[in-house]
Amino acid sequence: MPTLQATFYGHTYDNPFMNASGVHCMTTTELDALADSAAGSFVTKSATAESREGNPEPRYVNVDLGSINSMGLPNLGLDYYLDYAIKRQASHPDQPFVMSVASYQGFDEYVANMRKIQESDYTGLVELNLSCPNVPGKPQMAYDFEDTDRLLTEIFAFYTKPFGVKLPPYFDIMHFDKLRPSSTNLTSNLSTVSILSAMACILMKRLIQWSLNLRVALVVSVANMLNRRLLPMSAL
């Protein structure tokens, strides 16, 4: 009998579909609705240390072919989501989900946020959002390859729970090599890597354009970076 079941990180989910962070996952009401929905799992809104209003409105508009947004990371703060995560984990230990963590202030806040989670009772998956656009004056962390490497090195020095990174689209094949953490020890610590669908589109386009050899090189390059399976965003 056909099944959509997907096994990931020691748990079998009914299906591999879930929301992407930021979409209907800001409040506990929205999160509970996702948890009670037919989705296999869910991910929380990316949390910064302090709650944020985000960019001035209008910041989200539906258009014929989808939507355009410049949200600026509005969220209710790390404590809010961590509290929800700890309670949800205790009440539904057999329904794992993903907690998304970001930073507004940059490097030190990323580290402090991860330290807080390490010291908390939450033991589930964390997705570190290194790819938040639309925050005026704050570049996406994952476009700074040296800082990303430094950040992961610092986090892995103390963080022992499962976590992955969410990356922005990259537009040059060299970036895949540049992103590869300097130590293979780092890659073996990553549990997931989420990529934007835009990146998947670029890869698809290139795969069609390029020769078989180059395709192999591309796959190896990405696989080396991760040292494990690449997981598309919004799928487990």
- Residue closest to ligand FMN, measured at CB: 22
Q: What is the largest CA-CA distance in the chain?
A: 52
Binding ligand FMN (rule: CB under 6 A), the pick from 8, 16, 18, 21 is 21
Burial of residue 231 (CB within 10 Å: 0-12, 13-18, 19+) is middle
The window from 20-28, 111-119, 177-185, 218-226 that contacts ligand FMN (CB under 6 A) reads 20-28
Quick check: helix, strand or coil at residue 114? helix
Choose one: 14-22, 78-86, 152-160, 185-193; the region binding ligand FMN (CB under 6 A).
Answer: 14-22
Binding mask 132-161 for ligand FMN (x = CB under 6 A): ------------------------------
Per-residue binding letters, 72-111, with ligand FMN (x by CB under 6 A):
----------------------------x-----------
CA atoms of 193 and 148, how far apart (whole Å): 14
By residue count, the chain amounts to 236
Tell me the CA end-to-end span of the chain in Å, nearest whole number: 21
Quote the Cα angle for 224-230-231, to 5°: 165
- Positions touching ligand FMN (CB under 6 A) are 20-23, 45-46, 60, 69, 71, 100, 129, 166, 196-197, 233
